[in-house]
Amino acid sequence: MSNEPTRLEMFLTRLAFLLCGKPVYQAFADRLPLDGGDQVLDFGCGMGTVAYYVAKKLPHGHLTCLEISDRWLNACRKTLRGYRNVSFLLCESPPLLASESFDVAYCHFVLHDISESELARVISALARALKPGGVLVFREPLNEAGKISLVKRLVEQNRLIPKDSRVTDVPLMGNALECVYIKE
């Protein structure tokens, strides 16, 4: 299946998680607007590198880890095996998510990998899944400027309002753009 990562990709991701977990993934998780009781969606969770830190921040909330790859989702289950506030969802693209079911949805280095033809449907599904006042946060590599512009345009077309953005240097990954949008 083309959505499945190679063993090398999985190994390198695990290595990055072990060596740079705090400055890369925890730093991103720490900037998510969470109050501890949120319903949160990790869209494209991979092996759970960000989810590992987010789950700790939800003592009264719930984290849904969504992935199109069975191998990544199984790796995520292993990463988060100690948590009871997490569910795992293997989903085709675009995802079928309940309307207005999440307070926060985030994507970490995911959207640039989605084809332009599929991106409009994915962004629309994410926007629908957010509650009013819900927040969408994404971090994407800055060298994908064309794709980032498209993502931002699609997000705004789905009535999400830009709240914040910043460029950050991500260890091992280079410069990235982090954007925060709020659903009207």
Q: Sheet holding 86-90: strands in order across?
A: 86-90, 62-67, 39-43, 102-108, 130-141, 174-183, 160-170
Closest CA to 139 of 118, 170, 93, 160: 170
Domains and CATH numbers, the chain: 7-183 (3.40.50.150)
Residues 59-112 pLDDT 10s? 999 999 999 999 999 999 999 999 999 999 998 766 778 999 999 999 999 999
51 pLDDT above the threshold of 60: yes
CB-based contact 89:70 (threshold 8 Å): no
Reduced to 3 states (helix: H, G, I; strand: E, B; else coil), residue 179 is: strand
How far apart (Å, rounded) are the C-alpha atoms in residues 164 and 31?
11
For the entire predicted model, the pTM comes to: 0.93
pLDDT of 1: 38
CA distance 170 to 97: 30
User: Hey, is 64 helix, strand or coil?
Assistant: strand
